[in-house]
Amino acid sequence: LINTARGPIVDQKALTEALQEKRIAGAGLDVFEDEPSDASDPLFALDNVIVTPHSLCWTDQCFAEIGAADVRAMMAAMVGEIPEGVVNRDITSNAAWLAKLAGYKDRL
């Protein structure tokens, strides 16, 4: 079993039991049900488990794009536009938030 998505997708206690009983051959994980993980978790003592740090994007290109996206978002906000990548899309229809956003444009 490989889980590099989100820890809670896998029931970690059930996975540990399945690995201990050899019902599955092994697991490769970089995410866990609870993070930070407890170092004493029995999962980490198993020889049929490989764990690594969760590294979403560690390339020069990724870092450059993250920086560029941040700059684009700030520039959009500075001229009163809704930035790309707003996680809470509901806020984009909130009158108070839109008024605050419009206020940035007036400062230029």
Q: Catalytic residues, which ones?
A: 6, 35, 54
The DSSP secondary structure of 49-68, one letter per residue, reads EEE----S--SHHHHHHHHH
| 6 touches 30 (CB < 8 A) | no
Burial class (CB in 10 A: 0-12, 13-18, 19+), 101: buried
